[in-house]
């Protein structure tokens, strides 16, 4: 203690203290922040939060309010968590292009670092679901058959039996899931964007979420019977039966009928 | 003695076999009659053959499927190559469908051939029926055969629906659930009937074996028998032919069955089979492994039946739900009864009964073997188009969710639009079609009376310009004037000469009203007198352009223009009289 006290007045003491404080903050964040080591590392520093806040003020505050507490045109983001930001901004749904029945995906407006900064800022406003780890969303670790059972009980009524998407009321729709990244799938289940209900960890456990991701990963492009015709079911099959089947057969009939006898 | 070439060994064997058969079965007479049977030639007469040949394809592929399919609802756990189903509990029917698809060599191809052929079968029946309807081929003596064909359509629906439900997957199970709901909506006997069909509470344990019997024995047996009857009638009545010079209700102009049609039909069978096989080899159909084994709780977005049942789905989707009525302790589910029973009931009754309705309105007892051109029967054509429009709107309504997602529209707005269209659409289609038919008939009259425009403008010395018209040759003209003008029925007055009310007047009056609805608006074909008047008018003009114009009513000319006529050989053969 004597040595410490002796050096207390040292010129370098504030720097050491600052480093210690940063270490402590970082360490605490690493411990307390719920499992947030994504493939794209989210090491939220105060710096990130500050940059995130600037990005937020420039791009989001007009609808979500300067304190992210929501306005008439956008909901409050306090407590939505980093996962919601990573999903909404990472799929291009936010910032919203125009108002309509629901926010549509479009080219992503920020790079991953900026998205992480925004996520860090929003996460700092209140506790919420974090971005899942790579292991949590790895399709290879999931049980496909269990995923199929959970998917068709919880998801298929909107997203179609294999996730090809489906209609909702008033112009809203459940999108096709084949191109969505496993991380975004996980985040969507966790945060329930737009019309989608929240499937929290008590409802569908993280392992079951991974099973679902494994099932979706198998769809889209896996079609043992040939072209999948959009995997839309009997309507597209009927359409092709008329267009291709009857088209070719009537064409052949005209040809045979025109052949001189 | 004439020298004849010695028969080759092959000819000897063939001749010997034929002789052997003929002496024992008398097949020679049969072959002689049939080989010389004349059929008229037109591509649209092949539409029914698509149905026949796709049915044969269904039978052949179906036999293959029955060898591997297990029609049982016993619960098993799947172990096989499809990872998404491993360890999942399912019925043996579903498990055997998966085995058939993934483990039996060629099984998936056969399943897909069977299913595509079924869709083509129904599509061909509908197309063939459209041809028969719009050309009036259902008129006497073929009304009964129309009914046979109609029954084949209904049996095709039954065959398709029972087969579609056999794999016991979620999608077809949803269809069965709707069937159960519809049956239960029948007043009084509904729930008893449902218990009878399913052997207890839906879904029960009995349905798949029962559907299997219906699908592989009962329905195909009746279809085969009715196809036999259908074709027997075709031979008995002789085939109809399109109008043309040299063709009448008393002859058949065409080619003999052997070798022309044996070759054409034989070749066409392989074309039909080839197209179906091509589709089955390249396009996935009914991937049951996507839907999973049946369980009454889940349902997936985009759950629809095959296209031929889609109109029922659409009808149900359009019906507002508030029409459920509770009388005392009983529920009358008008929200199910109307869309699932009344709407198809109206459509199918009109379809089956149309030949009889038209015969009643026309009062025509003659036999008809020459087909109508659709434009010459505006009411019938418009009526057919309006039924098709109603059907098509219902099909679209059954796909409303896919329209919503693919065209980025509101599902609610689409549903409301179709609710209006199902009432307005058929009327509008009727009106437009009838106008088009009348317009085409006017065009025909114009052509017959004045000939083709040639684009040659002639200027006279006095400065007058005249376009030269080329008259139709005899074959072209005959096609446009051969049909009867059907006029509304004239009936006897309500009272006889002594002022006593006549028996049967009310029925006659109804019949006359119907007849007026059918035939009030009409364009009559050009009569020989009108044609002669028109021609003299043309000649007259050529000689003295200053002559008085003929009355417009007489020639039917629009605008009463003047024209020259090109001298032309009217009987020139141009191949139109084939």
Residue A15 within a domain: no
Beta bridge partners of A71: A74
Binary contact (B302, A166; C-beta < 8 A): yes
**In terms of CA atoms, which chain B residue is nearest residue A253?**
B43
Residue A75 within a domain: yes
Domain boundary (A81, A114, A130) is at A130
CATH superfamily assigned to domain B46-68+108-283: Cytochrome Bc1 Complex; Chain C (1.20.810.10)
Q: What is the DSSP string of B172-192?
A: HHHHHHHHHHHHHHSTTTHHH
Strand B324-327 to B330-333 pairing: antiparallel
CA distance B146 to B154: 12
- Of B573, B531, B520, residue with least CA distance to B556: B531
Q: In B83-187, which ranges are E strands? A: 89-91
Q: Are A116 and A145 within one domain?
A: no
Q: In B452-553, which ranges are E strands? A: 452-459, 465-470
Binary contact (A153, B287; C-beta < 8 A): no
**In terms of CA atoms, which chain B residue is nearest residue A211?**
B84
CA distance B140 to B515: 18
Residue A17 within a domain: no
**Element (H or E) spanning B564, and its range?**
strand B563-565
Which residues in chain A have Cβ-Cβ distances shorter than 8 Å to B398?
Answer: 235
Q: Are A150 and A231 within one domain?
A: yes
Binary contact (A256, B46; C-beta < 8 A): yes
Of B42, B272, B303, the CB nearest to A233: B303
**How many A-B residue pairs are in contact by the CB < 8 A criterion?**
209
Greatest CA separation for chain A? 117
- The arithmetic mean of pLDDT across residues B399-428, rounded, is 93
pLDDT single digits (tens) A107-150: 888 888 888 888 888 888 888 888 888 888 888 888 889 999 99
Of A159, A167, A226, the CB nearest to B411: A167
Residue A41 binned pLDDT confidence (cut-offs 50, 70, 90): very low
**pLDDT for residue B570 is more than 50:** no
A196 close contact with B: CB closer than 8 A = no
Binary contact (B84, A165; C-beta < 8 A): no
Q: Are A154 and A213 within one domain?
A: yes
Q: Are A113 and A187 within one domain?
A: no
pLDDT single digits (tens) A92-109: 898 888 888 888 888 888
8 Å CB contact between B305 and B164:
yes
Of A145, A173, A227, the CB nearest to B282: A227
CA distance B509 to B511: 5
**pLDDT for residue B535 is more than 80:** no
pLDDT single digits (tens) A193-249: 888 999 988 889 999 999 999 998 888 667 888 888 888 889 999 999 999 999 999
**In terms of CA atoms, which chain B residue is nearest residue A222?**
B290
* CA–CA min distance B39, chain A (Å): 12
CA distance A152 to A155: 6
**In terms of CA atoms, which chain B residue is nearest residue A157?**
B300
Domain boundary (A101, A130, A159) is at A130
State the CATH number of the domain containing residue A91. Answer: 1.10.760.10
Q: Are A110 and A174 within one domain?
A: no
Phi, psi of B456 (to 5 degrees): -90, 120
The angle at the Cα of B185, spanning B182 to B187, to the nearest 5 degrees, equals: 140
A64 appears as a binding residue in the annotation: yes
**In terms of CA atoms, which chain A residue is nearest residue B575?**
A260
pLDDT single digits (tens) B369-398: 999 999 999 999 999 999 999 999 999 999
**pLDDT for residue A1 is more than 70:** no
**pLDDT for residue B239 is more than 50:** yes
A95 SS3 class: coil
Residue with token string 């437009």: B432
Taking a contact as any Cβ pair under 8 Å apart, which residues of chain A between 205 and 244 contact chain B? 215, 218-219, 223-229, 231-242, 244
Domain that holds residue A168: 132-249
Strand B75-77 to B563-565 pairing: unpaired
For an interface test with A, which of B313, B405, B412, B417 has the most A Cβ atoms less than 10 Å from its Cβ? Answer: B405
- What's the structural domain count of chain A? 2
Binary contact (A225, B284; C-beta < 8 A): yes
Residue A217 within a domain: yes
pLDDT single digits (tens) B543-569: 433 434 433 333 334 444 455 555 444
8 Å CB contact between B202 and B165:
no
CA distance A256 to B15: 31
A34 SS3 class: coil
**In terms of CA atoms, which chain A residue is nearest residue B297?**
A153
Of B108, B171, B264, the CB nearest to A225: B108
8 Å CB contact between B158 and B282:
no
Residue A256 within a domain: no
Q: Cα dist. A209→A156, A160, A173, A201 in Å?
A: 14, 17, 21, 9
Residue A191 within a domain: yes
Radius of gyration of chain A (CA): 26
**pLDDT for residue B57 is more than 90:** yes
* CA–CA min distance B268, chain A (Å): 8
Q: Are A85 and A174 within one domain?
A: no
A158 appears as a binding residue in the annotation: yes
- The arithmetic mean of pLDDT across residues A48-55, rounded, is 86
Binary contact (A238, B119; C-beta < 8 A): yes
If you ran DSSP here, which 8-state letter would residue A9 be given?
Answer: G
Radius of gyration of chain B (CA): 30
8 Å CB contact between B389 and B426:
yes
**In terms of CA atoms, which chain A residue is nearest residue B106?**
A225
CA distance B129 to B348: 13
Q: Are A93 and A120 within one domain?
A: yes
Binary contact (B124, A232; C-beta < 8 A): no
**pLDDT for residue A251 is more than 90:** yes
Q: Are A155 and A217 within one domain?
A: yes
Q: Where are the domains of chain B?
A: 46-68+108-283, 309-434, 437-494+502-565
Binary contact (B300, A161; C-beta < 8 A): yes
pLDDT single digits (tens) B317-366: 999 988 888 888 888 999 999 999 999 999 999 999 999 999 999 988 89
Which residues in chain B have Cβ-Cβ distances shorter than 8 Å to A233?
Answer: 171, 302-304
A184 appears as a binding residue in the annotation: no
Can you read off the two tokens belonging to residue A75?
Answer: 């909901």
- The arithmetic mean of pLDDT across residues B405-429, rounded, is 94
Strand B38-39 to B255-256 pairing: antiparallel
- Of B284, B292, B294, residue with least CA distance to B86: B292
A55 appears as a binding residue in the annotation: no
| Per-residue pLDDT, B296 | 87
Q: Are A124 and A153 within one domain?
A: no
- The arithmetic mean of pLDDT across residues A54-80, rounded, is 87
**pLDDT for residue B478 is more than 50:** yes
- The arithmetic mean of pLDDT across residues B295-311, rounded, is 90
- The arithmetic mean of pLDDT across residues A170-189, rounded, is 90
A101 close contact with B: CB closer than 8 A = yes
Domain boundary (A130, A152, A172) is at A130
Binary contact (A170, B411; C-beta < 8 A): yes
Binary contact (A245, B408; C-beta < 8 A): no
A29 close contact with B: CB closer than 8 A = no
- The arithmetic mean of pLDDT across residues B178-189, rounded, is 92
A108 close contact with B: CB closer than 8 A = no
Lowest average pLDDT, out of A40-49, A78-87, B271-280, goes to A40-49
Residue A29 within a domain: no
Q: What is the DSSP string of B322-376?
A: GGEEEETTEEEEHHHHIIIIIHHHHHHHHHHHHHHHHHHHHT--S---BPPPGGG
Q: Are A156 and A244 within one domain?
A: yes
């Amino acid at each position: 203690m004597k040595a410490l006290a002796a050096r207390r007045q040292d010129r370098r003491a504030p720097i050491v203290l600052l480093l210690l404080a940063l270490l402590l903050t970082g360490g605490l964040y690493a411990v307390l922040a719920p499992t947030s080591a994504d493939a794209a590392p989210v090491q939220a520093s105060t710096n990130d939060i500050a940059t995130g806040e600037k990005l937020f003020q420039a791009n989001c505050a007009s609808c979500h309010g300067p304190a992210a507490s929501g306005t008439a045109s956008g909901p409050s983001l306090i407590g939505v968590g980093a996962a919601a930001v990573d999903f909404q901004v990472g799929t291009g749904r936010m910032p919203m292009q125009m108002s309509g029945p629901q926010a549509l995906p479009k080219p992503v407006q920020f790079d991953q670092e900026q998205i992480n900064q925004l996520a860090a800022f929003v996460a700092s406003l209140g506790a919420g679901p974090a971005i899942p780890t790579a292991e949590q969303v790895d399709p290879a670790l999931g049980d496909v058959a269990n995923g199929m059972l959970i998917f068709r009980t919880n998801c298929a009524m909107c997203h179609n039996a294999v996730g090809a998407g489906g209609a909702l009321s008033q112009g809203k729709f459940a999108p096709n899931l084949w191109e969505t990244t496993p991380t975004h799938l996980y985040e969507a289940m966790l945060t329930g964007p737009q019309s989608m209900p929240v499937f929290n960890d008590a409802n569908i456990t993280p392992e079951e979420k991974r099973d679902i991701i494994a099932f979706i990963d198998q769809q889209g492009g896996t079609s043992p019977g040939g072209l999948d015709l959009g995997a839309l079911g009997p309507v597209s099959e009927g359409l092709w039966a008329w267009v291709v089947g009857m088209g070719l057969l009537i064409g052949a009939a005209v040809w045979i009928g025109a052949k001189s006898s | 003695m004439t020298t004849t070439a010695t028969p080759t060994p092959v000819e000897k064997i063939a001749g010997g076999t034929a002789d052997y058969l003929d002496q024992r079965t008398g097949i020679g007479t049969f072959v002689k009659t049939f080989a010389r049977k004349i059929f008229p030639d037109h591509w649209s007469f092949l539409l029914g053959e698509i149905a026949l040949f796709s049915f044969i394809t269904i039978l052949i592929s179906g036999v293959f499927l029955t060898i591997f399919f297990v029609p049982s609802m016993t619960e098993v756990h799947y172990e096989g190559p499809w990872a998404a189903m491993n360890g999942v509990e399912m019925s043996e029917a579903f498990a055997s469908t998966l085995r058939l698809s993934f483990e039996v060599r060629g099984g998936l191809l056969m399943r897909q051939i069977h299913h595509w052929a079924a869709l083509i079968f129904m599509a061909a029946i509908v197309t063939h029926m459209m041809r028969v309807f719009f050309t009036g081929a259902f008129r006497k003596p073929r009304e009964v055969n129309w009914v046979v064909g109609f029954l084949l359509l209904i049996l095709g629906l039954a065959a398709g629906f029972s087969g579609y439900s056999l794999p016991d997957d979620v999608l077809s199970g949803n269809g069965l659930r709707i069937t159960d709901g519809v049956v239960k909506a029948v007043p009084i006997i509904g729930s008893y009937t449902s218990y009878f069909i399913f052997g207890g509470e839906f879904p029960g344990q009995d349905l798949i074996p029962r559907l299997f019997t219906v699908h592989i024995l009962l329905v195909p047996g009746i279809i085969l028998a009715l196809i036999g009857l259908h074709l027997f009638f075709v031979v008995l009545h002789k085939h109809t032919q399109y109008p043309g010079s040299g063709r009448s209700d008393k002859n058949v102009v065409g080619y003999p069955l052997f070798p022309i049609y044996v070759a054409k039909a034989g070749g066409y069978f392989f074309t039909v089979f080839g197209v179906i096989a091509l589709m089955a080899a390249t396009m996935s159909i009914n991937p049951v492994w996507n839907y999973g084994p049946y369980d009454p709780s889940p349902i997936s977005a985009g759950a629809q039946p095959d296209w031929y049942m889609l109109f029922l789905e659409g009808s149900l989707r359009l019906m507002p739900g508030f029409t459920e009525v509770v009388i005392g302790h009983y529920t009358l589910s008008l929200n199910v009864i109307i869309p699932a029973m009344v709407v198809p009931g109206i459509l199918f009754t009109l379809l089956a009964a149309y030949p009889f309705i038209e015969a009643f309105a026309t009062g025509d007892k003659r036999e008809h073997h020459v087909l109508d051109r659709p434009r010459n029967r505006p009411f019938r054509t418009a009526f057919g188009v309006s039924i098709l429009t109603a059907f098509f709107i219902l099909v679209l309504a059954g796909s409303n969710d896919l329209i919503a997602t693919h065209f980025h529209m509101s599902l609610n707005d689409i549903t409301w639009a179709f609710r209006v269209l199902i009432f307005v659409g058929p009327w509008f289609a009727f009106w437009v079609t009838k106008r088009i038919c009348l317009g085409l008939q006017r065009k025909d009259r114009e052509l017959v009376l004045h000939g083709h425009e040639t684009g040659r403008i002639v200027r006279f010395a006095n400065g007058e310009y005249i376009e030269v018209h080329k008259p139709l040759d005899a074959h072209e003209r005959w096609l446009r004037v051969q049909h009867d003008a059907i006029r509304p029925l004239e009936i006897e007055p309500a009272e006889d000469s002594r002022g006593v009310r006549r028996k049967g007047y009310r029925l006659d009056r109804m019949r006359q009203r119907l007849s007026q609805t059918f035939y009030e608006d009409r364009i009559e074909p050009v009569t020989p007198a009108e044609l002669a008047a028109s021609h003299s008018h043309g000649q007259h003009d050529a000689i003295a352009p200053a002559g008085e114009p003929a009355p417009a009513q007489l020639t039917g000319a629009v605008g009463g223009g003047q024209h020259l006529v090109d001298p032309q050989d009217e009987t020139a053969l141009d191949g139109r009289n084939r």
